[in-house]
Chain A
Amino acid sequence: MREITYEDAALEALQEEFRRDEKTVHLATDIAEPLLQEFGGERVRSTPISESAFVGAAIGLAGSGFRPIVDIRMATFGFVAMDQMMNQAAKITYMFGGQAQFPILIRMTVGTGMSMAAQHSINPYPMYMNIPGLKIILPATPYDVKGLLKTAIRDNNPVISFEHMGLGEFIGEVPEEEYTVPFGEAIIRREGSDVTIVALAKMVHLCLEVAEALEKEGIAMEVIDPRTLMPLDRERIKASVMKTGRLVVVDEACRTCGTAGEILASVVEDVTVFKGLKAAPKRVCGLDVPVPFSPVMEQYVVPNKEKIASAIRAVMEP
């Protein structure tokens, strides 16, 4: 199968959906050059740096029969448009009693590792999960980013796509033929019988590397990538923990009130799964600090292979 980058796969998704549905419109502060060339300046608009206005405009477009795609770029800029996302997009389908649809795709990059300091480095998806009315995707591979974005564009609701900035150049298999990836279906990236690892975004790849290494120590890790956070495939995660009896959740986002905590709670509050646990579950998360600038400090505050491996060894202790 051909291999392309995460970024190119995402672009292909947009190109294909723009060809498929003439109601799609692109709004972004940057000029989306390949889209602009193919689809023209009416549908592919560059905007002033006015996040609230263009996210709100996307809501107005969606409520008027269009399918806007908004590229906010960094998730830290998304905070500027928080009212439009949290109070408007997330709630108005509900507040209006379901009488109108708001199909909107909002893309943002997340993550750390580029020495860009705290105002350009963050993983804010847990707080979005706490606002009902938004669907949330977190693609970790080129295959998934393409398939999930296509599903997102066709969905009749606001969908937020959080794309890790460390994955843009990541290369992976993407078929030439048409496909989509459904929401709410976690994928088992590697099967194993000793411990279930739920890994998010870039952490999936770190955990797969750790799995290779720990196999030599006789530990068989099962690595699960939820792929979408809203809806979240709790059943597949629980089924895996039923099999292994052990759970480690790995997420680059801050630990407190995080997605990792939500996943962990969902698993342990199920009495059957709880009774089958062989060890107390663990989280490996970003530390509760703003992401620092200097590389030595930045690397210290996020999960790495050593931290992941030591958490896994700890849950494997008899």
Chain B
Amino acid sequence: MLTIRRFEERVLQEFHQGNLPGFIHSYIGQEAIAVGVCSHLRIDDRIVSNHRGHGHCIAKGADMKRMMAEIYGKKTGYCKGKGGSMHIADFTIGMLGANGIVCAGLPIATGSALAAQLEGGDRISVVFFGDGACGEGEFHESLNLASIWKLPIVYVCENNLYGVNTATSYSMAAEHVADRAVAYSMPGIVVDGNNVSTVYETAQKAVNRARAGDGPSLIEFKTYRWRNHFEGYGLPDLRPKEELEAWKRRCPVAFTERQLIDRGIVDHEELKAMDAAIMSQVEEAVEFAIKSPLPDPQDALENIFSP
């Protein structure tokens, strides 16, 4: 969690210093979900992410150097600079890509779960999406498909309460995203997404169910993003300041640190050392990105098709 937090903080810093092209969707505030869910996954399990995907990549085991290089638009990035922040993928660790179109990853993840079923082993798929995705038809189509075929998949909704600036309390007819699971005959669970233990325990049940061949689940984690929908210009953050402050007091990273200290699992010194080690990894990633070569302009003409 701390790795994701420090990575994202460093990305913000680089962005606001004008070192990064494009724009960035920060995962800060939602770290417990990626970590609590991905802790149950093996390297051969598959995940599909969304536009706010850095945290999922790190939690699934992606290399921060190649991530940062991609965010910088460098040749050494995961996608050779062709995808950027919103499209990081690493197929060697089962990270089937972040996706820039809201909800588009759900059918793709559902297909990867069909692949797992056809393979006959106990691999599973997980797809991460926001509350905004639940307004798309593909959300309903995918859950239905996964249910009729009993696919080994966990649908993880990170409900950060807003689709850009539109509150889900306004845009969604149901109170909870997970209420909709009833319509697709699968378990639907609503839990706190800022408590990593709760996330971990909830995800475990859904992951076990999928691995056992008992079918899909929908989990809704209530959470909040600390940053605007994206970093950049032209989009005001219209969410109430006091709401943001209240959620910041429920910081998933600080909460976990307190728990670890209270239970005597780590002390302040150990935490500090851990933080320093993480910071140096993140610095290495930034250094790698900065020192990496830019793509050649004509590289733009490669990889349109596979050989």
Contacts and interface: CB of A to CB of B under 8 A. Distances in A.
A61 interface: yes
A61 B112 contact: yes
Contacts of B302: 98
B306 A88 contact: no
Contacts, number: 145
Nearest to B125: A60
Given A94-B303, A133-B305, A99 B142 contact: no
Contact of A50 (B79, B104, B145): B145
B37 to A, nearest CB: 18
A57 B305 contact: no
Interface size class of B (residues with CB under 8 A): 35 or more
Contacts of A65: 115
13 contacts: A53-B145, A54-B107, A56-B110, A57-B111, A60-B110, A64-B112, A84-B107, A88-B108, A95-B87, A96-B97, A133-B305, A156-B306, A157-B306
Interface of A: 25, 42-43, 45, 47-48, 50, 52-66, 68, 83-84, 87-88, 92-103, 132-133, 135, 156-157
Contacts of A56: 104, 106-108, 110-111, 138, 142
B148 interface: yes
B170 to A, nearest CB: 25
B129 to A, nearest CB: 13
Interface string B131-149: 0000001100110110011
B77 interface: yes
Given A48-B141, A53-B145, A56-B104, A156 B115 contact: no
A53 B149 CA distance: 13
Contacts of B89: 96, 99-100
A125 to B, nearest CB: 18
A97 B80 contact: yes
A60 B79 contact: no
B87 A60 contact: no
A60 B104 contact: no
Contact of A157 (B82, B97, B305): B305
- Of B100, B111, B141, B307, most buried by chain A (CB within 10 Å of CB) is B111
